[in-house]
Structure 1
Amino acid sequence: MQPAALQTVELPPATPPQGMSLSALPTGSMTSRAAFAYRGGRFGDEREFAMTAVLVRHPRGDLLFDTGFGRHLEQHLALQPALMRATANFSKGTPAADQLAAHGFDTGRLAGVVLTHAHWDHVSGLDSLPGVPVWVNAAERDFIAGGGDMTSVARSLDRLEFKLYRFTDRPYLGFAQSLDVWGDGSVVLVPAAGHTPGSMIAFITLPSGARYALLGDLVWQAEGIDLPAERPWISRALADVDASAVRENIARVAAIHRRFPQIRMLPAHDARAMGSLPVFPTAAQ
């Protein structure tokens, strides 16, 4: 579906159960320049890039979306390209697993860690979540196996238990395919390839009616959707496997944003957006 066709699309129904909630688990940050984040950004505009996991609690199973930084950040960072390390400064926080444990949450009860994609800064925290299933689609699993430097951390982690999921041919907000995880419209995944082959977006609807879109790295800052704007060429060359697919998905999500402004768009690394979420153990419901 082309973005213009969204004008005839209604907001998808959802019946999220009582007890469902959403919390942020900030695990650290990176500082860089807006000029590296979106086309048109200024070198003089310093930005904080969030490294935040998102916990979605649901009676049928709790899911952690991405992990942020883990306990072995220094080793993981050393595996990354020199250009990336040279253009950013990293600040280590508390790993998501340790935050959960500090408040009595047994990570063994997680139904899974759902990866928006498998780049190092989204999987680093798997080093402290042994035995938790890692949800990926087949395209992202294959990318991990042969993705070079950008998936070296995922390959370095021992005994990851992958749980493969498949999208169905059921449209959702202009995306041709989707996966309704729990069958109630509360957690819906859609394919958004381009940044990586198996990148995806998660649409979350809470009992209060609040709606969120976990965009992963489709864009790095909110301007990517608001303007809209893709990454500058140097960042595209470093991070995206298919820049044209990223461009198409940005246009699609920007159209969703215009049509349904009540859906809160959450680029994974926008500290302003991620910082607006309640931090575990507090939660939005």
Structure 2
Amino acid sequence: MTLHHLPTGTYVTRAALAFRGGSFGDKRHFASSAVLVQHPAGDLLIDAGFGTGVADHIAMLPRFVRAPYETGPTVSSQLDTAGYDRSRLLGVLPTHSHWDHVSGLDGLPGTPIWMNANERGYAATDPDGKVFRSVSQGHEIHEYGFADRPYLGFASSYDVHGDGSVVIALAGGHTTGSVIVFVTLPTGTRYAFIGDLTWQIDGIRRRVERPWLLSKLADSDREQLRQGLQHVIAVEGLMQVVPAHDLGAYQGIPLLSDGPSLRTG
């Protein structure tokens, strides 16, 4: 069982907009990445990064949320460069359905999308699901459910392989069905891929939320998100916590393959 980081690009946001107490002078290059979890029973991609149509996807967004961005090789091209056997891929598991987590689905035709019922409903109706609705056409949706089984403070979880190696916990708060994916390697090393529970690791280490206005715009249930943040803060010392958009948080997770330099868009 192994993990690989597949970075596909970045976009620029000020720290002041990412977490309380951040500085306007601090530019953060928000990651758009995927993580390949390889398991003897079949592999999963956590998120899909930027796709080949990322410029069109960004054009679907309201103007006030568009930001300068840079793109690198897509998940699809990285898999091909590495000679990856796609028949091993069970599907793509988005932590949630926002554009910067699903854009790369456009290069993964035929790959099932793993979603829970709450997120599937959100993606089908919310304005922020517009890109998802475009790139998911033609994909099978593999709907997974949660057992009423607590996991590290979260009330509901789903054990993907039944061996505790990949456990999906329903977090909610950011979107109605947003999840955290906990991965435990045979070595005992543990990871928490927390999606957008916080945008930067500062939210965990400083124990702070998003600024009020940004949370109002971005989150579906602020109180639920706060509870999820507290659960992750409580276990941070036990595992590597990876907010989806914090490039530095992926440190130590090997790349699947080397790719070309980033290009500006």
The interval holding the TM-score normalised by the smaller chain is over 0.9
- Aligned partner of residue 197 in structure 1, secondary structure: coil
- Aligned partner of residue 151 in structure 1, secondary structure: helix
Tell me if the contact between 1:135 and 1:164 (Cα under 8 Å) persists in the aligned partners.
yes
Give me the whole-angstrom Cα distance separating, in 1, the residues matched to 2:145 and 2:71.
34
- Please tell me whether residue 271 in structure 1 is matched to residue 252 in structure 2: no
Which segment drifts farther, 99-108 or 205-214?
99-108
How far 1:24 moved relative to its partner?
0.3
Structure 2 residue ranges without an equivalent (≥5): 259-265
Question: Residue in 1 aligned with 2:111?
Answer: 132
Tell me if the contact between 2:193 and 2:242 (Cα under 8 Å) persists in the aligned partners.
yes
Question: Residue in 1 aligned with 2:16?
Answer: 35
Give me the whole-angstrom Cα distance separating, in 1, the residues matched to 2:156 and 2:123.
22
Tell me if the contact between 1:187 and 1:204 (Cα under 8 Å) persists in the aligned partners.
yes
Question: Residue in 1 aligned with 2:262?
Answer: none
How far 1:168 moved relative to its partner?
0.2
2:149 pairs, out of 170, 173, 177, with 170
Please give the per-residue CA displacement for 1:4-30, whole angstroms capped at 9, x wherever unaligned.
Answer: xxxxxxxxxxxxxxxx00000000001
Question: Residue in 2 aligned with 1:9?
Answer: none
- Please tell me whether residue 75 in structure 1 is matched to residue 75 in structure 2: no
How far 1:160 moved relative to its partner?
2.1
User: Which runs of structure 2 are paired with 1:69-218 in the superposition (5 Å)?
Assistant: 69-85=50-66, 88-148=67-127, 150-157=128-135, 158-218=137-197
Tell me if the contact between 2:81 and 2:257 (Cα under 8 Å) persists in the aligned partners.
no
Paired residues in the alignment total 257
- Aligned partner of residue 36 in structure 1, secondary structure: helix
- Please tell me whether residue 45 in structure 1 is matched to residue 63 in structure 2: no
User: Which amino acid in structure 1 is aligned with residue 28 of structure 2?
Assistant: R
Structure 1 residue ranges without an equivalent (≥5): 1-19
Give me the whole-angstrom Cα distance separating, in 1, the residues matched to 2:107 and 2:220.
28
Percent of residue pairs bearing the same amino acid type: 51
Question: Residue in 2 aligned with 1:239?
Answer: 218
1:27 and 1:55, CA in 2 relative to 1: closer, same or farther beyond 3 A?
same
How far 1:281 moved relative to its partner?
4.2
Give me the whole-angstrom Cα distance separating, in 1, the residues matched to 2:206 and 2:58.
31
How far 1:84 moved relative to its partner?
0.8
Which segment drifts farther, 217-226 or 247-256?
247-256
How far 1:81 moved relative to its partner?
1.6
- Aligned partner of residue 256 in structure 2, secondary structure: coil
- Aligned partner of residue 121 in structure 1, secondary structure: helix
User: Which amino acid in structure 1 is aligned with residue 25 of structure 2?
Assistant: G
How far 1:275 moved relative to its partner?
4.0
Give me the whole-angstrom Cα distance separating, in 2, the residues matched to 1:246 and 1:35.
19
Give me the whole-angstrom Cα distance separating, in 2, the residues matched to 1:79 and 1:107.
29
Give me the whole-angstrom Cα distance separating, in 1, the residues matched to 2:240 and 2:68.
28
- Aligned partner of residue 48 in structure 2, secondary structure: coil
Question: Residue in 2 aligned with 1:17?
Answer: none
